[in-house]
A and B are shown apart, each in its own frame.
Chain A
Amino acid sequence: METVSIDYGWLAFCMVLAGWLGFELIGKIPSQLHTPLMSGTNAISGITLVGALAALSYTTDAITEVLCYVAIFFAIINVVGGYCVTDRMLKMFKK
């Protein structure tokens, strides 16, 4: 792997900012919405799908390729299922 220069300061800044956003966005929401919110953020955490897809493109042997496919399979269940079930719950709230 070629050594990439990493801008640690920028990275830390990004992470702190995103983390702070998470606190701000969720801190004041009514407790009625906690379950859909959890299942919604759960679906977002399936974003690791992106990591699996990227890793797939530069696999060199069969083992890592299969592992990538397995990761994609489970991540896609997480993402699609998570968004659908959240939508189903929120649809009930709307009425």
Chain B
Amino acid sequence: MDAFFVSAAILLIVGLKLMGRAATARKGNVLSGIGMLLAVATTLWAFPPKNIWILVSIVTFGSLIGIWTASYVKMTAMPELVALFNGFGGLASLLVGVVEGLKLMHTSDDSVGTGVVFTQVAIVSAVIIGGITFTGSLVAYGKLSRKLPSGSIVFPFQPYVCFALLCFLYWSSCGWIVSQSIFGFDPFYAMIAFSLIAGILFTLHIGGGDMPVVIALLNSLSGVAACAAGLISLNKVLIVAGCLVGTSGLILTLIMCKAMNRSIGKVLLGGFEASETKAQSKSSGKPKTMMAEDAYFPLEAARTVAIVPGYGLAVAQAQHAVKELVQKLTENGAEVFYAIHPVAGRMPGHMNVLLAEADVDYDQLTELEAANARFQETDVAIVIGANDVVNPAAVENKNSPLYGMPILEVFKAKTVLVLKRGQGKGFSGLENELFLKDNVRMIYGDAKKTLTQLAAQFKGE
């Protein structure tokens, strides 16, 4: 049996390895799926279920729901789907912890050894981390799908309430491990409740702009929860896969934090909103606007064009319109590249998926450093619904909270066209000094409409 579990773990690892390269990624995913199947089959063989028919119907029903959602979800809705699935995984780990805990409470009257304490600690970890992952992911899902307000939700005495909750959580879990009864009351159920509330409280105040970091972190936590569930029954494949997901999620979180110039602590405490008011930009002046019709001339003359897509492009669902404009530009003899910031979109790498859906050539997608090296020779850079990731304050203004954040240096291009819905600010709530520069023209309005308009002018020829 162990041999099968080890093979399953190896398949998962090799699959993950292959997923690190675009050419082999799909094969890697299939391989990891086979590993999962092997792990499940081995478990069914080793622990035959009492009632196979109930199990089969549940598995079929769940699989159909999974396949159906996966096939029909829009690519723009990918972040909330990942958050939701992640929450389900957390819930499953929580329930495994609860089941094992209840079982332990019914049977352990005499045997109190280190083994039992170890199992109890594992149960507590699975319940708490699973619970936090579950409700935290649900809140993230709500914010991303706009069923909840996407901004930071703050209530009075929040830090104190969170701290008190942590104390309760600690107290109830320790209480359960030591005595299984506090004031004649079983702290196990209190622990479940506290962990569910904790998940909500910890994510509620995190603003929409920090969501990429939060999803990555919750993803990591769901792995840790699975690992904890594995420690309860000492299941090797669970432990290995859980650790793997835990650290890979953690490293993605750190990459995201670095790309946004934020520390994990700051994201979790939601400190951004508080500091923004202090750093008002001192430069005055008005951004220069331009009508879409007038943009034809610089675009027509341009030899090199950079497309800088951001969150706004995803919101306006303009990825197909962009592709169309790029086609016209290419036919016109211009060389076009997409400059993609690591946090463009609403989850890590989201923009690449959106552009891939619109059939954009993979080779045209340029990463941060490569793009920055090309802006100097770029005739026109078109910024579509991106704001903070192109804010020059990150390199020029030492007082800006953005200072130090790696940005796309579009201001180096000869002309910059900024497509923007309105005069609002970015997620950080900061003025963007880019819009005031001499070589920048603003085109206000719906990005999709503007892009279609621009492309239509080329058709006129």
Hey, which bits of chain A sit against chain B, CB under 8 A? 1-6, 8, 11, 14-15, 18-23, 25-61, 63-64, 67-95
Question: How distant is the Cα of A81 from the Cα of B67 in the complex, in angstroms?
Answer: 5
A49–B16 contact, CB under 8 A? no
Given the interface pairs A14-B236, A79-B66, the reply to whether A40 lies near B226 with Cβ below 8 Å is no
Do most interface residues of chain A lie in helix, strand or loop, or is the interface mixed?
helix
B22 interfacial by beta-carbon distance below 8 Å: yes
Chain A residue at minimum C-beta to C-beta distance from B232: A51
A-B contact count (CB 8 A): 372
A56–B22 contact, CB under 8 A? no
A42–B235 contact, CB under 8 A? no
Cβ of B241 to closest chain A Cβ, rounded Å: 4
Hey, which bits of chain B sit against chain A, CB under 8 A? 12-13, 16-17, 19-22, 25-26, 28-30, 32-33, 36, 39-40, 43-44, 46-50, 54-55, 58-59, 61-63, 65-67, 69-71, 73, 75, 78, 81-82, 85-86, 88-89, 91-93, 95-96, 98-100, 102-104, 106-108, 111, 113-116, 118-119, 215-216, 219, 222-223, 225-227, 229-252, 255, 340, 342, 345, 347-350, 352-353, 356-357, 359, 362, 365, 367-368
Cβ of B218 to closest chain A Cβ, rounded Å: 9
A84–B66 contact, CB under 8 A? yes
Apart from A54-B47, A80-B62, 19 more pairs, CB < 8 Å: A6-B234, A14-B240, A21-B244, A29-B19, A31-B349, A33-B20, A35-B78, A45-B241, A46-B85, A47-B241, A49-B40, A53-B43, A75-B92, A76-B58, A81-B85, A85-B70, A87-B30, A90-B26, A92-B353
Cβ of A27 to closest chain B Cβ, rounded Å: 6
Chain B residue at minimum C-beta to C-beta distance from A39: B82
Cβ of A44 to closest chain B Cβ, rounded Å: 5
A21 partner residues in chain B, CB cutoff 8 A: 13, 243-244, 247
Chain B residue at minimum C-beta to C-beta distance from A37: B19
Question: How distant is the Cα of A19 from the Cα of B243 in the complex, in angstroms?
Answer: 5
Cβ of A53 to closest chain B Cβ, rounded Å: 5
